[in-house]
């Protein structure tokens, strides 16, 4: 874990809100000079606390209207089988996130798709036929109540 202070937390919190802030804008928010802020930002990037910058795209505006969570149970629980399954999901661009779990399912996948036909294709033509997979259960999202990639940083008041 990297140690960060209140200035770093203000910088990180501001960048979570708007990754396009100029160094001057960021310095004003953090309460630092532009040069101090720049050095801190560079250190946070070098230490991989800031993992990267990217545009957040609106999935529905681009025709991706179906979000689905897919629960996977593996056929066998061996390192080789898990490796084959991980290789499979890394080849499928429709799968945005994948997590190994405790409980009834071995994995849960989040996929963003254009339509139910796309879901059918992934389930029936990609996941079910794969030798590493025993069971597939999908849950279609009816309504998105909250979506956030923000970390719950505690920023000290100035």
Give this prediction's pTM: 0.86
Mean pLDDT by 10 residues, the chain (158 residues): 92 95 96 97 97 93 97 95 96 96 96 97 97 97 93 70
Q: Which two tokens stand for residue 128?
A: 């079910």
pLDDT at 22 (0 to 100): 96
Please give the pLDDT value at position 155.
58
Whole-number pLDDT of residue 158:
47
- For 42-111, give the secondary structure using H, E and C: HHHHHCCCCCCCCCCCCCHHHCCCEEEEEEEEECCCCHHHHHHHHHHHHHCCCEEEEEECCCCCCEEEEE
């Amino acid at each position: 874990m990297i140690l960060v202070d209140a200035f770093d937390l203000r910088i990180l919190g501001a960048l979570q809100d708007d990754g396009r802030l100029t160094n001057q804008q960021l310095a004003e928010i953090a309460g630092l000079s532009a040069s101090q802020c720049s050095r801190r930002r560079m250190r946070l990037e070098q230490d991989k606390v800031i993992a990267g910058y990217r545009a957040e795209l609106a999935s529905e505006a681009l025709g991706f209207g179906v979000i689905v969570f897919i629960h996977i149970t593996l056929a066998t629980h061996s390192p080789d089988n898990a490796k084959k399954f991980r290789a499979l999901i890394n080849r499928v661009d429709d799968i945005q996130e994948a997590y190994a779990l405790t409980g009834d399912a071995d994995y849960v996948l989040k996929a963003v798709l254009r339509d139910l036909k796309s879901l059918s294709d992934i389930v029936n033509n990609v996941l079910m036929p794969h030798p590493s997979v025993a069971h597939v259960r999908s849950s279609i999202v009816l309504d998105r109540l909250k979506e956030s990639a923000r970390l719950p940083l505690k920023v000290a008041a100035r």
